[in-house]
Chains A and B, each alone.
Chain A
Amino acid sequence: MVGLKLSPLKLRLYSWHKWIGVTIFLLIVARLIWRAANAPPPPVASPRWQQVAAVVNHWLLYVLLVCIPLSGWLMSSAYGVRVVYFGVIPLPDLVGKNKELGDALKALHETLAFTMLGLVTMHAVAALKHHLLDRDAVLYRMLPLVKPRAHKP
């Protein structure tokens, strides 16, 4: 998106990108509130290191899901471009116009996004491995009202 030649399409993509980002930010805030009020189901039996890795990965995903939209919003403010949600609701500018700060936030936004891409891949691959190779109840654990299948050793 960044590498595209400036065009009306590019401006649209940037706006859509920001609207999606704001939406994700709102969803993650709702999710964190839910998570604070509701304990997750007990973990499926697996080696200790896997359980630790799963917990660490989850919390890193939460942190990134908060920090990535925030860094994008800050970046937009620093570049002097206000975020207007759906082209209707203007969000407050969090910082004043400052190109150096904008460049730094851009680098941060990119780094965090690529880090998240790695973690999401790991998260999904681990879930599929549990489901398809270990054939345990990890994926079912996410669903409400679904009886987990029996653990097959």
Chain B
Amino acid sequence: MMRSQHRFLLCTVLAAFLAPAASSGYAQRVSAMEPDKSTITFISKQMNVPVEGKFAKFTGQLAFDAAKPNEGRVQVELDMSSIDTGSEEANDEVKGKGWFDVKNYPTARFVSSTVKTLGSGRYELAGKLTIKGRTKDVVAPFTFKPAGQGALFEGAFVLKRLDYAIGEGLWSDTDTVANEVQVKFRISGVAGVLKK
């Protein structure tokens, strides 16, 4: 009898410890993006000097379940007029026709196609990126970390600006502004369904 009581006690204690762990599993599933807590930055090289810029405004949809990463989906729409290159002079310049032609192409879009698991919290996102009306395939490794009431996705990829006709004419000279531009994303997602 004493034995079974002990066993009961042990179970209760175990359950008490396991319960929070089980309920913290919610952060494994993310169902929406929080643009306010997310950043999309890019680093271009001007005369070999890395210069960081960012997009202040973007929206998106996001669905990711760490238990089924292959079903993850993400779509992001960037407001191209919200570009911040780090200097006012360049902000005016890059909105023009030769660069992003923001008047004719006000949004850029990324739509995911597949998510692969690389192991130890790392994944690989593939999808189509459309800037200035030109669509190219991009592949970006990213990490997934539960954080607070949601999770954080962090990753980066390199695009070639001339693939999208970003910087035409005189600016197509890649000795001054390099062709390769690194894009970094830090996307905050809010937790989905608390329990299955």
Contacts and interface: CB of A to CB of B under 8 A. Distances in A.
A79 B87 contact: yes
Which range contains the number of A residues in contact with the other chain? 10 to 19
A81 B48 contact: no
Main secondary structure on A side of the interface with B: loop
B25 interface: no
Given A79-B87, A80-B86, A81-B86, A8 B171 contact: yes
A57 interface: no
Interface string B52-91: 1000000000000000000000000000000000110110
A11 B49 CA distance: 10
B89 A11 contact: no
A7 B93 CA distance: 9
Contacts of A8: 170-171, 173, 175-177
Given A8-B171, A11-B177, A79-B87, A84 B93 contact: no
B37 to A, nearest CB: 21
A79 B52 CA distance: 11
A6 B90 CA distance: 7
Given A11-B177, A12-B176, A6 B48 contact: no
The 5 closest A-B pairs by CB, nearest first: A87-B48, A8-B176, A15-B47, A6-B93, A84-B49
Interface of A: 6-8, 11-12, 14-15, 79-84, 87-88, 97
23 contacts: A6-B90, A8-B170, A8-B173, A8-B175, A11-B46, A11-B47, A11-B176, A12-B47, A12-B176, A15-B49, A79-B86, A79-B87, A80-B51, A80-B52, A80-B86, A81-B49, A81-B51, A81-B86, A82-B49, A84-B48, A87-B47, A87-B49, A88-B48
